[in-house]
Structure 1
Amino acid sequence: MSVETEWIRYGENGEYSGYMARMADVGEPLPSVIVLQEIWGVDGHIQDVTRRLAKAGYVAFAPDLFSKDGERLPGFEQDRIEQAKQFRNTIKPAQWADPKQRSAALSGLPVHQREQIERTLAGIFNVGGMLPELTRQVVSTSAWLKETYEYSYGKGVASVGFCLGGTLSGQLAVRDPGLRGAVIFYGNAPSPEQLPEIQCPVSGFYGELDLRITAAVPEFAQAANEADVDFDYHIYDGAQHAFFNDTRPSYHVNAARDAFARTLLFLQRVLTDSPES
């Protein structure tokens, strides 16, 4: 059975858009998975993950968080993002995290290319200021899949997010009491103050070497346990940030394989209405 894919506009006035994948010849509505992008947008990797989840039997949908009214936000155009991503892939994690080292690496590029990448990176590094609006879009996406979209109407919704999307997956769990489950791949966890709002299981996957994110996980796990939040997590030895992305040098095949298997088991648990059947 083939997977059908398409770009869809949605929202009250069609202001949002995203990449949809689903099994082509399944007639009844299916549970859905929101696939939440890295800072690089709904690129080839995120589209591939969306198709993989569709092949597992879900309606999979990746909202394009950098688009509004069918157009990419200035500086977030796909070619500009791809250019910045390719630059990121040429430098080590320590250089990326250090503005001076990052600037030194950029200085070796042609002036026009350097200026374009710098403007795009400035937008990416300021994406935290967009989190309230992005969270509203993600909450709207969940409601649309459950209440409007014919191929997932009335069925459960879960989320799987990476990096920026991992953070948003956790925020969706905070703000959507009907969410069935949230998976966080190397994203910032919700704050302890938000924990009482989470009504669904949460699963997290992290790289040992991704210290900025991973160092905070044990404390969050303890706070989640005290708040009776069902939170399970795995930290992979020798894995960096973005270990699941097979288009980047950070890809860690063993960690990615294990995390994907665990993600599928998690989704089966939270999205199956009758586990006994």
Structure 2
Amino acid sequence: MTDQPTPRIDAAAIDADLWCLFDQYVHGDIDRRRFLERAAGFAAASGMTATALLAALSPDFARAQKVAATDARLATRFVEVDSPAGYGKLRAYVARPVQATTALPVVLVIHENRGLNPHIEDVTRRLALANFIAVAPDALFPLGGYPGDEDKARALFAQLDQAKTREDFVAASNWARQIDGGNGKLGAIGFCYGGGMVNFLATRVPELRAGAAFYGGPAPAGQAGHIKAELLLVFAENDERINAAWPAYEAALKSAGVKYDAHTWPGTQHGFNNDTTPRYNAAAAAEAWQRSLALFERTLRS
């Protein structure tokens, strides 16, 4: 007996209230049971069960993979890094082009609130193919790493001591700047939780030259004055939870004289860059990715 393929769903047909409900589920505000209960009406209207609807909304890593883990153009490995102020040790996935003839810029890749899942590993490889050394830490390493299941990963994530986790990312940043084959210039890109972590790192790692924060929370209040990096701030139009904090953060960045570029893509949902789910918006994701690469090219290669 073979597994049934994950059902497909037309993102344009998804009700705005269902997107809000799914966002609550993704960010741990409601559990799976509550989502299924509240999504039953949406599912019935689509001729699906609530379980099938959730499967259609959830990541399909294999279908979306763009760069295979065995791609001969890349060298990949896992490393462990000391983090004395954090959890003691952190683990990161490192990808780099094998044909590099000069020292390369280094970019930290920071995952969403499920740890280093296959999608973020794939994004790390995509960045390496753009001729960067990409380093992707896994916040869940102290709890055993990404468990292979998004629900379990979310549950584990809630158990992290975020003060220690933030220090792990600071340690990862400092290690990445000195990586063999790197040019000593560091950037960071992050998504959702990772976008917020990019904003945080910009306040704690003065050597960070550039940060691309995709729909992430702002830097800690009162800390914008510590930011030296140039920032690209990526927003989805339909993302009230994140967008509500932007006016105050923008005012703080302006007051501190931080160089930044902020863009909101019309018609998009939180997570629109993630091509493993129906929230993916190909046109917006492509433009945001190219803006990110342009930022890193300009700030990290010179």
Q: TM-score, normalised by structure 1?
A: 0.77
- The letter of the residue matching 2:79 is I
The change in CA–CA distance for 1:123 and 1:8 in structure 2 (over 3 A counts) is closer
Q: Give the equivalent residue in structure 2 for 1:254.
A: 283
Q: Give the equivalent residue in structure 1 for 2:175.
A: 144
The CA distance in 2 between the partners of 1:15 and 1:214, in whole Å, is: 34
The CA distance in 1 between the partners of 2:232 and 2:159, in whole Å, is: 27
The CA distance in 1 between the partners of 2:96 and 2:114, in whole Å, is: 23
The CA distance in 2 between the partners of 1:59 and 1:121, in whole Å, is: 28
1:238 correspondence with 2:267: yes
Q: Give the equivalent residue in structure 1 for 2:81.
A: 10
Structure 1 residues 152-174: Cα deviation after superposition (integer angstroms, max 9, x where no partner): 2x520010011111111111100
Q: Give the equivalent residue in structure 1 for 2:195.
A: 166
RMSD in angstroms over aligned alpha carbons?
A: 2.0
Q: Which runs of 5+ in 2 are unaligned?
A: 1-71
1:196-211 → structure 2 map (5 Å cutoff): 196-211=225-240
- The letter of the residue matching 2:90 is Y
- What is the Cα deviation at residue 123 of structure 1? 3.9
Among candidates 162, 165, 173, match of residue 134 of structure 1? 165
The CA distance in 2 between the partners of 1:140 and 1:47, in whole Å, is: 20
Aligned length: 228
Q: Give the equivalent residue in structure 1 for 2:111.
A: 37
Structure 1 residues 75-94: Cα deviation after superposition (integer angstroms, max 9, x where no partner): x6422x33x2xxxxxxxxxx
* 1:192–1:224 contact (8 Å) kept in structure 2: no
1:224-235 → structure 2 map (5 Å cutoff): 224-235=253-264
SS of alignment partner, residue 177 of structure 1: coil
* Percent of pairs with identical residues: 33
The CA distance in 2 between the partners of 1:133 and 1:173, in whole Å, is: 17
- What is the Cα deviation at residue 4 of structure 1? 1.2
Q: Which runs of 5+ in 1 are unaligned?
A: 85-116
SS of alignment partner, residue 15 of structure 1: strand
Structure 1 residues 230-268: Cα deviation after superposition (integer angstroms, max 9, x where no partner): 121111111111110000121111110110011011111
- What is the Cα deviation at residue 12 of structure 1? 6.0
1:68-107 → structure 2 map (5 Å cutoff): 68=142, 73=143, 77-79=146-148, 81-82=149-150, 84=151
The change in CA–CA distance for 1:5 and 1:164 in structure 2 (over 3 A counts) is same
- The letter of the residue matching 1:144 is W
Structure 1 residues 78-134: Cα deviation after superposition (integer angstroms, max 9, x where no partner): 22x33x2xxxxxxxxxxxxxxxxxxxxxxxxxxxxxxxx5xx54444465xx32212
Q: After the TM superposition, which of the residue ranges 167-176 and 9-18 deviates more from structure 2?
A: 9-18
The CA distance in 1 between the partners of 2:80 and 2:298, in whole Å, is: 30
* 1:31–1:155 contact (8 Å) kept in structure 2: yes
Structure 1 residues 176-197: Cα deviation after superposition (integer angstroms, max 9, x where no partner): 1111111110110113400111
Q: After the TM superposition, which of the residue ranges 254-263 and 7-16 deviates more from structure 2?
A: 7-16
